[in-house]
Structure 1
């Protein structure tokens, strides 16, 4: 599984179930991390033993059941609600609100389908003036079907001639379609549930719209992943030393060309970006020696700013004089 597939599966499970669980596997001899496994259980249950230690019990589709210490599992949740562990109403997720909207949307689509079908059905009635026997009715119907079939197949038309003994009575078929505003409202309501706007969904977003999407949806997920993986994979000593696992997202990759160039001009002069980092931002390959950081001479250490400005010397150490 590639890193892309791994993150894709984790986030998909989180959005579907409001919870996602990752099992980190360590080498029993060296303690080194071997792999990370996104779990897809059918049911999840919290078990508390007599010493108040929390365990998590998984039931999988093949019938296997595993009970593991809760602290050994990386757990991400989407909401916090009635359940202290899983948030919401449980580990399986509660999508009642969005399911109602999807059901309404499906009903509207079926209505459109039925309206289209009804518009292609009977347009009128041919009334035969006079009393006809069942045999004559059958004969007239066959003649009508034959004339209609011949008109469609040879002339590409559904218009047929009728004589004075027949009378055509048109039927007023007026199928009602759903207005555009209603359909757009339902679509946006479904997308809003997942924090996605219509421009993002259709890939027709501006730079400002993407920045808004990043800050409201992508960045919170990145922060949540970073914190959960740090707690799940690092020891208490590592956490106390300030070590952490960070999920970075290359936000500037989606910026406009002008924004990228401006960022490079500003950040390179401060020594924040290297040559290769700047080239990568522009979609260029790295170069040899490109990991150097260049800095403008127009900047000075704040502690030495006064000395630089007035030309005073640094005080000498009396022990070294």
Structure 2
């Protein structure tokens, strides 16, 4: 829950703007469909179930390993901020994890920019978790108005805010929620209750005895307590059960714990796995490189792409976008590969000048080395245009160990004479 102090800090540069918004609200922003342009946080407890929380946590944890980078010269100084501390209250891993978690739970996640004194220069980003969000119209433009659990509210221009969505169909601005998962959530709840109650019931009765005479309820209660105390309590250390002729029959009940059918449990689990695009191997960290690559491409990469686009559009103007400025999120997918694959990729791409020494070190999760940004090629490689030029090949061979050098121009005079 966002408290009043944090809310004031996040929206501190907009205090005067907030007052103007209250005077200029023209009602809800008109949408193309009949749905009210508002969003309410899902209260169905999707994050409170063990299996669904595990699926969300695995997803958010993998997403939190993404590395933000600034492409282009505009806002280049913000790159280190994004890579270490996007706002004063959380580091990059926490920032991305929170966004990914909110997006999975609510199917809509909001990001607001933090501004310098000029209210134009962005200095960071903060993920919001409002209880309710409305799209209002102010001077003909859409604004987002946030309502928080402590009763506070704030507003920001839609063009300045960041909005990530999943399952966006009926609403023009927000995701459609996780209502489709409600039947599965009910099944999970009933399943857990059934297991607990079944175990309780199966462990309640251990012996059954029939009295040889008719007694009133009060006397039967005394006899039951007396039988249990003499034979079933911790005081009976002999392990021998004794009873007199007043008991006509005493039988031991074979107590078996109740367990839900394994196939039924598997079906319910698969409902969750299908909905969250995951599997048991991902949740239990038993995946190999092929399963990880499939999970990355199906779940992590779409998130990285959407987050990149959202932050890019928040940061840059149309003119800056035209010069290829962007925020991108990258992942070293080879960290999850087998050592055999790592070795093959490292050797094949390094000696062709595609990877530097430090990039190879990244693959093996090792520290960078001095002068590790140079590129090298094998001695027997040469540019095609110099194949018939002995001098050109010798020059390339002589330059090995100094990085890739610009090959000398082909000697067209000698080539013409040979022709």
* Alignment pair present for 1:72 and 2:160: yes
Q: Which of 110, 114, 117 is the aligned partner of 1:25? A: 114
* Alignment pair present for 1:160 and 2:258: no
Q: Which residue number in structure 1 is paired with residue 24 of structure 2?
A: none
Q: Which residue number in structure 2 is paired with residue 116 of structure 1?
A: 199
CA contact (8 A) 2:203 2:257 kept: no
Q: C-alpha displacement at 1:194, in angstroms?
A: 1.7
TM-score of the two chains, using structure 1 as the length reference: 0.85
Q: Which residue number in structure 2 is paired with residue 96 of structure 1?
A: 179
Q: Structure 2: how far apart are the matches of 1:156 and 1:82? A: 72
Deviation string 1:171-201 (CA, Å, 9 cap, x unpaired) is 6877653111211221232133222211000
TM-score of the two chains, using structure 2 as the length reference: 0.66
Q: C-alpha displacement at 1:212, in angstroms?
A: 0.7
Q: Which residue number in structure 2 is paired with residue 47 of structure 1?
A: 136
Name the CA shift for 1:228/1:136 in 2 (closer, same or farther; >3 Å).
closer
Extract unaligned runs of 5+ from structure 1: 89-93, 317-321
How many matched pairs? 304
Q: Which residue number in structure 2 is paired with residue 319 of structure 1?
A: none
Q: Which has the larger radius of gyration?
A: 1
CA contact (8 A) 2:203 2:256 kept: no
User: 1 or 2 for the larger relative contact order (CA 8 Å, sep ≥6)?
Assistant: 2
Q: C-alpha displacement at 1:144, in angstroms?
A: 1.6
Q: C-alpha displacement at 1:45, in angstroms?
A: 0.7
Q: Structure 1: how far apart are the matches of 2:413 and 2:103? A: 60
CA contact (8 A) 1:188 1:198 kept: no
Q: Which of 361, 365, 374 is the aligned partner of 1:279? A: 361
> 28-37 or 262-271, which moves further after superposition?
28-37
Q: C-alpha displacement at 1:142, in angstroms?
A: 4.9
> 141-150 or 217-226, which moves further after superposition?
141-150
Q: C-alpha displacement at 1:125, in angstroms?
A: 3.0
Name the CA shift for 1:142/1:244 in 2 (closer, same or farther; >3 Å).
closer
Q: Which residue number in structure 1 is paired with residue 148 of structure 2?
A: 60
Extract unaligned runs of 5+ from structure 2: 1-89, 390-409, 415-419
Name the CA shift for 1:142/1:228 in 2 (closer, same or farther; >3 Å).
closer
Within a 5 Å distance, the mapping from 1:202-241 to structure 2 comes to 202-241=284-323
Q: Structure 2: how far apart are the matches of 1:104 and 1:69? A: 41
Cα RMSD (Å) of the superposition? Answer: 2.6
DSSP-derived class of the 1:72 partner: coil
> 245-254 or 97-106, which moves further after superposition?
97-106
Q: Structure 2: how far apart are the matches of 1:87 and 1:131? A: 69
DSSP-derived class of the 2:130 partner: coil
* Alignment pair present for 1:288 and 2:386: no
DSSP-derived class of the 1:155 partner: coil
Q: Which of 123, 133, 156 is the aligned partner of 1:34? A: 123
